[in-house]
Amino acid sequence: MKRSHESDTASVTIRKLCQYEDVFVRMIHEYFKDDLINILQNVSTHAFLSALESRIMLDGQKYLKIKKDLGNASFVEHLLEDILKLGKGGVIGFWECLKIPLKTHPPPPLLSAVFDELNQLGDQLVDQILLDNHGPTLPPGELREIQANHKQYLLEKTQSLVEPKPPGSSLGPQTFNINERYVNLIVVSTNQFRKRSQNELMETGAKHEECLKETETKLEYISLNRIFRWSQRSQCIPHVVIVSGVPGIGKTTMMQKFVNDWANGKLYQRFAFVFPFKFRELNKMAEVSLEKLILHQYPHLEEQLSNILEHPEWLLFIFDGLDESIHQMDFKSNRLCSCTKDQKHFGAIVVSLVKQRLLPGCSIMITSRPTKLVSMDVSSIQRITEIMGFLHSDRKIYFSNVFADEELSKKAFKYVQENPMLYTFCYIPSYCWIVCTVLSLCFRAEPTNNDRLMKSLPKTVTQLFAIYVSNILTNHSSKQNDFPSIRNLLTSFGWMAEFGVMNHMIVFDERHLRSFNVGNNDHHFSCFMLESGQHPHVDYTFLHLTIQEFLAALVHFIHYDSGKLQESLDKAKSFEDGRAEMFLRFLCGLSDSTTRSILKPHLYYLSIEASNNVINWLQKKIAEEQRDKKELLNSFYCLYESRNKALALQCIGSINDAVFSFVHLNPLDCSVLSFILETRGETEELNLGSCNIQDDGLKNLVPALHTIKNLSLYSNNLTSISCTHLAQGIQNNQTMKKLELSRNNLEGPNFAQLMTAVQTSQIKELHLRNNNLTDHSCVHLASGIRHNQTLRKLHLFGNNLEGPHFGDLMAALRTSQIEELYLQHNELTDSSCIDLASGIKNNQTLRKLDLSQNKLAGPNFSELVAALETSTIEHLLMYEIGLTDEHAPLLVALSNNRNLTYLDLGHNSFSDHASGHIHDLIHKTPTLKEISLFSYRMSDSVKKELEMLKKDRPELKVNIK
């Protein structure tokens, strides 16, 4: 119904488009260009181009070639430009074709939003486009001049993108033009905030790829020029927008780009004046009015401020960093101000603007970390978005931007891709910068010796930051071996960093610097910290939250105090919000002597006692978490960072099983688990059922699959792609006995690779239930079982194997050693009985056969029975296969099978007329121990009569109701 409604809405919308003049149709097409680019990258190219060819005579092959040669982005750009050249007819035809993906289930959310915007705004849309392109008409005179000056002021402030001082370099911070360096970030619409750990970048990073996959089906992509456009969720043009994102994801840079594009005339000219503020800078202000707040930062507006504020609909206020505000934003508060001259703390002013009590009609954009929004009432916010960071392609672009040498860029990117721990965090731009700079330093240090280069490259996050800090310290002092000075520097930074971690603090001021003896005049201060604001109201933050957490851990190895370390470990463990999780991982990472050796040239000595203390603590922690698999997995991360396989083996040696079923495992979890399993050497059983690991997660598990004897991977959304990974793992495993892959979706071209691996394996049980396998897969199944002489149980329940290739599977059954075959619920029909008969008749090992829930009744059923009566089958299940009274005489022949001990004929349509034949079947089969005959058509008297047969045979069990 919903799809039909959306299609009807699209038809109405397109009819409206037809009524516009050519120039306005083109204008609307251009207005939606960014949206159309995203939509076209996520629909079936062939289907869409075929529809276009039939409507507007475009050469589809031309665009397929562009896509193949130049990539998806170039293909879309060329197509949209060519459509525009065709004028109104071409544009209308193009939009008609967009109705096709709208009919898919679910329809692309962004496409639905675009048609909804077109439909809801109607004739107002052209006016809105003109307003966004040209802005409101300002009264002649000084106001226009003031606006021009304000734009120029903001243009100069936002033109440059500053990157921190490169580690190990005497260079200062590097400056780039924002339009040359900025890489688009993925922003999606959302109205939910999960309760996350304080170090939410880890949780978001782990879920990042999963969330990005949903952008095509569930999440609405929001480009910069869509933020203040029609919101399908709230059914209005939003006045208040929140942009959320984890630390370092690019919220501030995105706001800088937004303001720069506005000042350049590229974006949202509907706003005559934009006022960006940072909560960090507002924290220093006492009670203040909105007018004073504006003039404090933009004194050049003083003469015309009253005139500017007379038109709230012209105004946009941007407040960056809500999570850094010292005031709680209570959007339910009634203590609001309605006059621009009212004196309030800035928090009340922001809430008054949001609630439209102050300057009703103005627009507000707020940025925040997601954790800040969990406890807030955001019902008055019309659009809430979340920055998801870099896609794979964006990360690649970023590496190319940082590395001048293309070959080096590819080499570095490949290395990071092969390290899931490092790659996952590269969704964050600031983290990506750290990774790039560290790798750049490693490549420069070892340009020719590949073996030494590989040893120098970071394997863990702890090693990454150890190298980063090491290269900063390389230029710390002109004196060689100035150990006391360096130790004092890092001790000061470290205790302040740890204070921040333990007290949920990322913003520091002069008092904190003095308290911890941190000198901001040191020439390496800017390598660790950023400062903002102007004297005397200057704030400081560590370059990245993770750097703060690393230094907080490092200080315990520089200045070891057993009591202090134990107190910090216990305190960090007690935080339920997980704020100290990375801190704990870094402590464990630094317990590894190889990792510590990276820093020893600068620090001379790092405490071995601290290492022993951390190891003892971790051992105790793991022992306490045996039953809580999620907590145990968190401890595995600590073991992963330690790279100490002896420690890992010691810690997990007492673990009796490896059952993680129903624990959600992201790809990063799988990498960590793989390390643990490899360390363990051999695992009797690994149960990862219903863990949602998917293809990417399974790929990360491959290195450890050779250690598993019994592997369960049921219900994990695995696809044909996973078959390649599984094949690789099986080929390296000569001890695997059982493989459980039920309730996935393995049908596809790679299924053949899995079965090729099965051929030479030692697998005894293979479970492939409910995998959407078709008769095409029977060819590969046949190959697998024909050449495997160890396979004894094959479960194929719930697939769809009926078809011409089912005979191949049955032909392979003849020479196999299979003892149990489960074929229930496979859409098999009477036609399959011939192949079944051939396979059974020539097989000498089959002991159990389940043919239930198929439709086998028919003229060929007699051939199947003939094969069954001479077979070695002991357990035969044929419930609900469509049998009726006319088939009952055939069943008597089964009594010739002197191996048959169990027979299930339940849920067939037998009536009283069949009772005599069933009586004969039971009576003539002396080996039969149990028979099931559930049938609603039999009378109670006949059922009772059949049950009486067990009087003469005490060992016989008759189940009949």
Residues of the chain with CATH 3.40.50.300: 171-389
Place of tokens 């910090």: 568
Q: Chain-wide mean pLDDT for the chain?
A: 87
pLDDT digits (tens, 9 = 90+) for 660-716: 888 888 888 899 999 988 888 888 889 999 998 888 889 999 999 998 999 999 999
- Burial of residue 4 (CB within 10 Å: 0-12, 13-18, 19+) is exposed
According to the model, what pLDDT value does residue 536 have?
67
pTM for this entry: 0.80
The pLDDT-based confidence of 414 (bands split at 50, 70, 90) is: very high
Percent share of the chain, pLDDT over 90: 49
Q: How far apart are CA 612 and CA 947, in angstroms?
A: 72
H/E stretch holding 563 reads: helix 562-574
Q: How far apart are CA 252 and CA 158, in angstroms?
A: 11
According to the model, what pLDDT value does residue 6 have?
58
Parallel/antiparallel/unpaired status of strands 539-542 and 529-532: antiparallel
CB 527 within 8 A of CB 472: yes
Q: How far apart are CA 877 and CA 862, in angstroms?
A: 16
pLDDT digits (tens, 9 = 90+) for 508-531: 988 999 999 998 776 678 788 888
Q: How far apart are CA 146 and CA 303, in angstroms?
A: 9
Q: How far apart are CA 465 and CA 865, in angstroms?
A: 71
According to the model, what pLDDT value does residue 2 have?
46
According to the model, what pLDDT value does residue 195 have?
46
pLDDT digits (tens, 9 = 90+) for 612-643: 999 999 988 888 877 788 888 888 999 999 98
Distance of CA 855 to the CA centre of its chain: 42
pLDDT digits (tens, 9 = 90+) for 71-112: 887 888 889 999 998 889 989 999 888 888 877 767 788 888
The pLDDT-based confidence of 343 (bands split at 50, 70, 90) is: very high
pLDDT digits (tens, 9 = 90+) for 451-471: 788 888 999 999 999 999 998
Q: In this structure, what token pair is assigned to residue 223?
A: 């480009």
The pLDDT-based confidence of 201 (bands split at 50, 70, 90) is: low
Region of 681 please: left (phi>0), alpha (psi -120 to 50) or beta.
left
The pLDDT-based confidence of 205 (bands split at 50, 70, 90) is: low
Fold of 660-959: 3.80.10
Q: How far apart are CA 671 and CA 677, in angstroms?
A: 10
Give the CATH H-level superfamily of domain 171-389. P-loop containing nucleotide triphosphate hydrolases (3.40.50.300)
Q: How far apart are CA 931 and CA 905, in angstroms?
A: 8
CB 318 within 8 A of CB 276: yes
According to the model, what pLDDT value does residue 100 have?
82
According to the model, what pLDDT value does residue 168 have?
46
Q: Report in angstroms the alpha-carbon separations of 447 from 171, 440, 451.
A: 22, 10, 11
Residue 185 has pLDDT above 80, yes or no: no
The pLDDT-based confidence of 233 (bands split at 50, 70, 90) is: confident
pLDDT digits (tens, 9 = 90+) for 723-782: 999 999 999 888 999 999 999 999 999 999 999 999 999 999 999 999 999 999 999 999
Residue 198 has pLDDT above 50, yes or no: no
H/E stretch holding 532 reads: strand 529-532
- Burial of residue 511 (CB within 10 Å: 0-12, 13-18, 19+) is exposed
Higher pLDDT, 192 or 364: 364
Q: How far apart are CA 337 and CA 790, in angstroms?
A: 80
Residue 211 has pLDDT above 70, yes or no: no
pLDDT digits (tens, 9 = 90+) for 351-390: 999 999 999 999 999 999 877 776 677 777 889 888 887 8
According to the model, what pLDDT value does residue 194 have?
44
Residues of the chain with CATH 3.80.10.10: 660-959
Q: How far apart are CA 770 and CA 715, in angstroms?
A: 9
Q: In this structure, what token pair is assigned to residue 682?
A: 């051999």
According to the model, what pLDDT value does residue 172 have?
54
Q: How far apart are CA 268 and CA 258, in angstroms?
A: 9
pLDDT digits (tens, 9 = 90+) for 28-51: 999 999 888 888 887 888 888 888
